[in-house]
Chains A and B, each alone.
Chain A
Amino acid sequence: EILMTQSPATLSVSPGERATLSCRASQSVRTNLAWYQQKPGQPPRLLIYGASTRASGVPARFSGSGSGTEFTLAISSLQSEDFAVYYCQHWRTFGQGTKLEIK
């Protein structure tokens, strides 16, 4: 079973700044990786699939990169609505999440 590990658990960033979230797979998943955003009381929202393809309607400030075992979700110029929990996912396995909070 492939394990997905996200870091950090919590990231504090000021609005307008850039945030970088990491996800590591225990073995290569090629580019079979997705990122989701979840706000309290809401279902997750697909942001990125195939490691780097933005889902429909996702703003261009969200970008995904990486392949194999190391992946990054970058959010440039953070907006207030971007503060949430972010999960990476490969196949049936989700990472434990990174909480992006306002600094």
Chain B
Amino acid sequence: QVQLVESGGGVVQPGTSLRLSCATSGFTFITYAMHWVRQAPGKGLEWVAVIPYDGNDVDYADSVKGRFAISRDNPKNTLYLQMNSLREEDTAVYFCATDGIGPYYFDHWGQGTLVTVSS
């Protein structure tokens, strides 16, 4: 079955960096676009970034553009999110997700990893 497992979250200070990983299994990773979606505590869902199957034409939400970088290692079936210049408003649970049944229809999600940015 499809599995997505995020890791790398933690408590960091504003202005620092963190890299999240999303290890996947149970599907042909190389054929799917992958996304990061986040959810601040007690708040709704916010799409963060997308990377197509081949790693080209990545895109970001305006709120993270220029600070975050999405990447993937297809031989390792793993997705990454490099987060730089973190701000308190980046505090959230970060989910990785696939859109296997159609663009931006998120049919599989990981359990999420919590990132807390606090001084």
Contact = CB atoms under 8 A, between A and B. Distances in A.
Interface stretch (B8-16, B24-32, B71-79, B101-109): B101-109
Contacts of B105: 34, 46, 49-50
B100 to A, nearest CB: 10
A43 B111 contact: yes
Interface residues of B, number: 18
A34 B45 CA distance: 13
Main DSSP-derived SS at the B contact region: loop
Interface residues of A, number: 22
Nearest to A1: B62
The 9 closest A-B pairs by CB, nearest first: A43-B109, A92-B47, A49-B105, A94-B45, A91-B104, A46-B107, A97-B44, A96-B44, A34-B105
8 contacts: A34-B104, A36-B106, A42-B111, A44-B45, A44-B106, A50-B105, A94-B46, A97-B45
